[in-house]
Amino acid sequence: MTDVAAASIAYQNALKVIKSVEPRIADAITAELTDQRGSLKLIASENYASPAVLLTMGNWLSDKYAEGTIGHRFYAGCQNVDTVESVAAEHARELFGAEYAYAQPHSGIDANLVAFWSILAHRIEGPELASAGVKNMNDLDEDAWETLRKKFGEQRMLGMSLDAGGHLTHGFRPNISGKMFHQRSYGTDPETQLLDYDAVAAAAREFKPLILIAGYSAYPRRVDFARMREIADEVGATLMVDMAHFAGLVAGKVFTGDEDPIPHAHVVTTTTHKSLRGPRGGLVLATEEYAPSVDRGCPMVLGGPLSNMMAAKAVALAEARTQEFRTYAQAVADNAKTLADGFLKRGTNLVTGGTDNHIVLLDVSKYGLTGRQAESALLEAGIVTNRNSVPSDPNGAWYTSGVRLGTPALTSRGFGADDFDRVAELIVDVLTNTTPGLTAKGVPGKAKHVLADGVSDRVHAASAEMLEANPLYPGLEL
Ligand code: PLP
């Protein structure tokens, strides 16, 4: 348990010190706390880290360069960074039951890049070096090097489509993964909007990917990773799972057996700041087989590790190993179910008809709104969400037809079942009282919204009651 009185003094003094150098930054930090304390945060990828985690980020560990790996650095004096990275990796291995953990990635996207290049190194570079009879890439002659570079560029990745809930880093063109790999997507069943494993298997048989990637940013259901591994094995693919969104539910043992990616995947990546409730950052977990190539993340794609952030990951992972965190993770899933039921009983359409993870994806088209209009109307009423595509979205990825909601943050504040039912009621109140705004030509557009008079005040008042009853960082005097 955090010593709240000590944390209050720490923050008050820290802000004094910052204010003496750049008051606008101290003010922005304080204003951010006020804003977060005063709004209903339903962004599925956000959370509230503990004061212990937050305080671990701001210190002199940040000043140390430590490129390399534990005990094998390119700089002198890395003994304390070695301790920090070892503790983070130890907690990650034990929490998730992984054979190997790599705590250096600075973010989820970096963790995925490390994973992609590690898989390429293990599957393509290793055999190529062996056939050339050399151990080190630098010993390849120019022709062999060109052959290897060409082979890297020929590899394929099969991942979930963006509009079914996949992530940009899973092989899509705006991201480097789409430039590295030939990509194909698997979607969801057009009727049920659920993952269709037979269709994934058929796509894998035809496309023969090097990497089959599972995981999502906006799919409100659990995934059968045992089935995904069967598919990967059948076509000789490496199964990589990106659990950035649901790592907290894996850590908290809500997802077990076939729903736990660790026993089934060759490589698992995650962020540490979403449902896991840690600092912003990434982790890679792997089997022994892939460990040596993952360990080359720095210098393969990463520069010097952020030692202060690895330290904060270690503290967050220590917290996630407690019974208290398991209770929290179960509440995140239970609250998502209550939230989804709250919408269904009020007639709102949900993608897949419900949820069994931490995400609820609203399809707002029946309210005559785009996702963008719904998102901005909700924000006007003090409810922070983000718009999101729905499967086969007629409004595309910018305007969208959906709004994604998540329960991790408000559950961290202590919101329970009654609160989440009330949240559904407030959101439906906003959606039913919003109409599309007019474009410059005087016709209803896709961007602007008009929220009926009085709704914002009514919703703000109801939210304030719940927010006051469940304060953010209770006892923290700032
Ligand atoms: N992977 C998934 C599934 C995500 O949802 C996200 C972020 O939203 C990322 C990776 C990227 O994480 P980051 O923003 O830390 O780079």
For residue 185, the cross-strand partners are 159
Q: DSSP letters along 351-394, please?
A: GGGS-SSSEEEEEGGGGT--HHHHHHHHHHTTEE-EEE--TT-T
Number of domains in the chain: 2
Which residue's CA is the nearest one to ligand 1's atom 5? 217
pTM of model > 0.75:
yes
Check if 67 is active-site: yes
In this structure, the answer to whether residues 263 and 362 fall within a common structural domain is: no
In this structure, the answer to whether residues 118 and 209 fall within a common structural domain is: yes
Q: Residue 290 maps to which CATH number?
A: 3.40.640.10
CB atoms within 10 A of CB 323: 8
Give the C-alpha separation, 335 to 424, whole Å: 11
34 within some domain:
no
Check if 65 is active-site: yes
3-state secondary structure of 174: coil
- What pLDDT sits at residue 477? 86
48 within some domain:
no
In this structure, the answer to whether residues 253 and 394 fall within a common structural domain is: no
Q: 254: which 2 tokens?
A: 């809500």
The pick from 104, 177, 216, 217 for probing ligand 1's pocket by mutation, whose C-beta has the most ligand atoms within 8 angstroms, reads 217
pLDDT (tens digit, 0 to 9) for every residue of the chain, 478 residues total?
468 889 999 999 999 999 999 999 999 999 999 999 999 999 999 999 999 999 999 999 999 999 999 999 999 999 999 999 999 999 999 999 999 999 999 999 999 999 999 999 999 999 999 999 999 989 999 999 999 999 999 999 999 999 899 999 999 999 999 999 999 999 999 999 999 999 999 999 999 999 999 999 999 999 999 999 999 999 999 999 999 999 999 999 999 999 999 999 999 999 999 999 999 999 999 999 999 999 999 999 999 999 999 999 999 999 999 999 999 999 999 999 999 999 999 999 999 999 999 999 999 999 999 999 999 999 999 999 999 999 999 999 999 999 999 999 999 999 999 999 999 999 999 999 999 999 999 998 999 999 999 999 999 999 999 999 999 998 888 8
Give the C-alpha separation, 195 to 374, whole Å: 26
In this structure, the answer to whether residues 154 and 256 fall within a common structural domain is: yes
Check if 234 is active-site: no
126 within some domain:
yes
- Which among 285, 320, 355 is the end of a domain? 320
CA-angle at 9, arms to 8 and 12, nearest 5°: 85
Which residue's CA is the nearest one to ligand 1's atom 12? 108
CA 397, 398, 404, 408 dihedral sign is positive
Give the C-alpha separation, 174 to 414, whole Å: 38
Residue with tokens 């799972």, as numbered in its chain:
241
350 within some domain:
yes
In this structure, the answer to whether residues 286 and 381 fall within a common structural domain is: no
In this structure, the answer to whether residues 365 and 423 fall within a common structural domain is: yes
Nearest to 416 by CA among 341, 458, 470: 470
424 is in which domain, residue-wise?
Answer: 330-469
Atom of ligand 1 nearest to the CA of 281: 15
Catalytic residue among 67, 189, 196, 425: 67
125 within some domain:
yes
Check if 219 is active-site: no
Q: Which class for 174: exposed (0-12), middle (13-18), buried (19 or more C-beta within 10 A)? A: exposed
- What pLDDT sits at residue 2? 64
Q: Ligand 1 centroid to 371 CA: how many Å?
A: 21
Residue 49, φ and ψ in degrees, nearest 5: -75, 155
Check if 242 is active-site: yes
In this structure, the answer to whether residues 168 and 241 fall within a common structural domain is: yes
For residue 40, the cross-strand partners are 383
Give the C-alpha separation, 114 to 294, whole Å: 7
In this structure, the answer to whether residues 212 and 336 fall within a common structural domain is: no
Q: 271: which 2 tokens?
A: 């962020």
- Which among 320, 353, 383 is the end of a domain? 320
Q: Residue 344 maps to which CATH number?
A: 3.90.1150.10
In this structure, the answer to whether residues 369 and 443 fall within a common structural domain is: yes
Atom of ligand 1 nearest to the CA of 271: 15
23 within some domain:
no
In this structure, the answer to whether residues 97 and 246 fall within a common structural domain is: yes
In this structure, the answer to whether residues 428 and 456 fall within a common structural domain is: yes
325 within some domain:
no
- Which among 267, 298, 320 is the end of a domain? 320
- What pLDDT sits at residue 476? 87
- What pLDDT sits at residue 3? 81
- State the amino acid at position 424 in one-letter form: A
In this structure, the answer to whether residues 184 and 316 fall within a common structural domain is: yes
Check if 280 is active-site: yes
Q: DSSP letters along 440-453, please?
A: TTSSEEEEEEEEPT
Which residue's CA is the nearest one to ligand 1's atom 10? 108
- What pLDDT sits at residue 4? 84
343 within some domain:
yes
